[in-house]
Amino acid sequence: MTVPRLTLNDGRSLPAIGLGTYPMDDDEATVAVAEAIRIGYRLIDTAAKYGNEVGVGRGVAESGVPREEIQVASKVRGSDQGYDETLRAFEKTRADLGLEYLDLYLIHWPLPRLDRYVESWKALVRLREDGLVRSIGVSNFTPDHLDRVTAETGVTPAVNQIEMHPVFPQEALRGANAERGVLTQSYTPLGRGRLLDAPAVVEAAGFHGVTPAQVVLRWHHQLGVLPIPKSSDPARQRENFDIFRFNLREWEIERISALAGSRYGGDPDTHEEF
């Protein structure tokens, strides 16, 4: 299957779907990542906070696919924010993954009370300049956070990975990302499975002859968002990956976007995760 690619503001690109790995442990990640890559996934997402970077790296190595064909993303955790701290944290991440370079490195949370995310961003810029990271971005950043790091460094994040699903569609933040040339990635894209029985989703799945999960992931794609669904089950991985053979109708997208609900995770202005 040919997977579309999404262009970043640094001239590089990412495949239009990736594999999330939270909350897998090392052993589960090794098997799940290797199988996902064999299925066709070429973007694998992890984070220092997940505690599975060793397993993700093993999965990449055991997949049988050349390293240069796989894009690996990780994130610096809150307890490692700061310029020197981030550089040290990156070296540990790189060692745990067993990789010479990362394709994407993100700041996991802004932690505004700590007020170290700008210094962390400067470290990410340095890592990109040194060729140790191909692209750099952030996660859970608001427009104000994005504007501050850009203003203080002259470098705009390539990616902002945020919680997004049909009951929390993030229209305003997606628009702000787009205005700044920042690609939106979505974690928890299936809403923890809680919205797969919504009539708007079920009816669209029936019409197109696909599953509710495929409808929701296709909804992300047609909104220009890159989803990273987590699954360690090969059948589910294949199902999640197979979203490029059909198109939702515009009114189906609007109906799914209108589902009522709220976020499941933390508010970036107040959430603290170290």
Residues labelled catalytic: 50
Q: What one-character-per-residue DSSP string does 145-193 give?
A: HHHHHHHHHS---SEEEEE-BTTB--HHHHHHHHHTTPEEEEESTTGGG
Query: Do 135 and 101 touch, CB atoms closer than 8 A?
Result: no
Phi and psi at residue 71, to the nearest 5°: -110, 125
- Cis-peptide, bond into residue 15, ω within 30° of zero: no
Nearest-angstrom CA–CA distance, 170 and 179: 14
Q: Are 237 and 39 in contact (CB under 8 A)?
A: yes
> What's at 210, amino acid-wise?
V
C-alpha torsion 187→185→145→92, nearest 10: 70
